Amino acid sequence: MDVSHPEIAALVRQALAEDIGTGDVTSQACVPAERRARGRFLARQEMVVAGVEVLPLIYSGQGGVDRLEIDRPTGSRVADGDVVARVEGNARVLLACERVALNFLQRLSGVATMASRFAREVEGTGCRVLDTRKTTPGWRRLEKMAAAAGGVTNHRMGLWDGVLIKNNHITAAGGVRQALENAKGCGLPVEIEVRTVDELDEALAAGATHLLLDNYTPGEIATMVGLIAGRAKTEASGGVTLETVRAYALAGADFVSSGAITHSAPAMDLSFRLEWLAG
């Protein structure tokens, strides 16, 4: 996981400021200022780990941290009890950063684990699972990397890196053919949603090469794929869940996208265990 982007550093700073504020009064009140400690981040369930590479960003600006070791990098599959990372240094600093560190690990590991479950469901079908832009504000870059670490393919990062003509764009442009005509020469990949067989025929006649089939049942997807007959790539989307994703893949879609990978991923159970270092 490449955490070098300035957006990620800014997010970490914001998270620390939000939690620590003017100071960790509990640690200051009961832990001697010179006390040193060692902490271990432990998995408490099976998961795909993600976000461990954020830990150096969390601790680097706090001072007093002597050593940080990453045992299981992003993308690692771990079991209950496995050590994910270790940190050693001033006890107050380790305690002040504990919640922020766990928030990043738990959230991003949740996304990676959910993504791995989706990827596993479509194994052997030739279909690829895509994530979406249904991400936590400010966390998109990290959540997209976590999704990829879990085994799915990243779709657009934002509105700037691919043309996806949906129903409202079609209405605003004046129709399927006109929307595609207007998008010619943009220099970016173009995908267009089709809602009916007539729109499908119109899109193919206008040269569409990538079609979005939104809110269809797996049976309807199979019918549409049969009509397309390989003339364009297809993406099935709309309410796709872990329980239904394989049916959509088996219906013949080239891609299946699901917002659940990010918007419905439960946080994974990780804990931080501290021990006092004598001397």
Of 24, 82, 191, 193, which residue is the catalytic one? 193
Of 71, 181, 202, 214, which residue is the catalytic one? 214
Of 20, 267, 45, 39, whose CA–CA distance to 139 is shortest? 267
99 is catalytic: yes
User: Residue written as tokens 């670490």?
Assistant: 149
Of 44, 134, 195, 233, which residue is the catalytic one? 134
193 is catalytic: yes
- Per DSSP, the residues of 130-197 read E--S---TT-HHHHHHHHHHHTPBP--SSTTS-EEE-HHHHHHHTSHHHHHHHHTTSSS-EEEE--SH
Residue 68 parent element (H or E): strand 65-70
Q: Three-state SS for 129?
A: strand
134 is catalytic: yes
Residue type, 39: G
Burial letters for 163-179: b for 16+ Cβ neighbours within 10 Å, e otherwise? bbbeeebbeebeebbeb
191 is catalytic: no
Of 35, 44, 72, 99, which residue is the catalytic one? 99
Q: For residues 124 and 206, give the distance between their C-alpha atoms in angstroms, rounded to a whole number.
A: 33
143 is catalytic: no
38 burial level (CB within 10 Å; 0-12, 13-18, 19+):
middle
Which neighbouring-strand residues pair with 83? 42
Cβ-Cβ contacts under 8 Å for 167 (sequence gap 6 or more): 193, 195, 214
Residue 45 parent element (H or E): none
Q: For residues 210 and 13, give the distance between their C-alpha atoms in angstroms, rounded to a whole number.
A: 40
- Active-site residue list: 99, 134, 166, 193, 214
